[in-house]
Amino acid sequence: MHIPHEAVLLRIFIGESDRYGHKPLYEGIVLKAREAHLAGATVLRGPMGFGKSTLLHTQKILRLSYDLPLVIEIVDSEEKVNAFLPVLDEMMKGGLITLEKVRVIDYRADQENAIGAEHPKS
């Protein structure tokens, strides 16, 4: 898959307990991003955070939080990310979405061309 050097980072902030139908919202978003042929999606789980409500969500040994913060990151062309925004609008009841322009330095799906991969000597 090819990502242009000038791309957009879509960052989605939600809670772990947020749902889309009968599944976790983060799972629904990642599956929809895959259906839309976006370059990739990564879900990051935060040990602590708060949002608009200022309610603190934390992961502590003595307290099990069922709603830890999650961030989903997707990098692709501006056109593809903009086309995906209406899908998110239908899926999300709350949360925060940010967009920022990014410069992609390197993206290599095959290991033979990856940075740090050993190349045969000539």
| Domain regions of the chain by residue span | 6-104
Q: What would the mean pLDDT of 94-122 be, rounded to a whole number?
A: 70
Our CA angle for 9, 11, 16, nearest 5°, is 155
Select 6-104's CATH number: 3.40.50.920, 3.40.50.300, 3.30.70.120, 1.10.260.40: 3.30.70.120
pLDDT digits (tens, 9 = 90+) for 19-52: 999 999 999 999 999 999 999 999 999 877 777 7
Torsion sign across C-alpha atoms 68, 43, 99, 35: negative
Amino acid 66: pLDDT: 66
Q: What would the mean pLDDT of 116-121 be, rounded to a whole number?
A: 45
State pTM to two decimals: 0.78
Token pair listed for 19: 């749902």
Q: Which residue has the higher pLDDT, 107 or 9?
A: 9
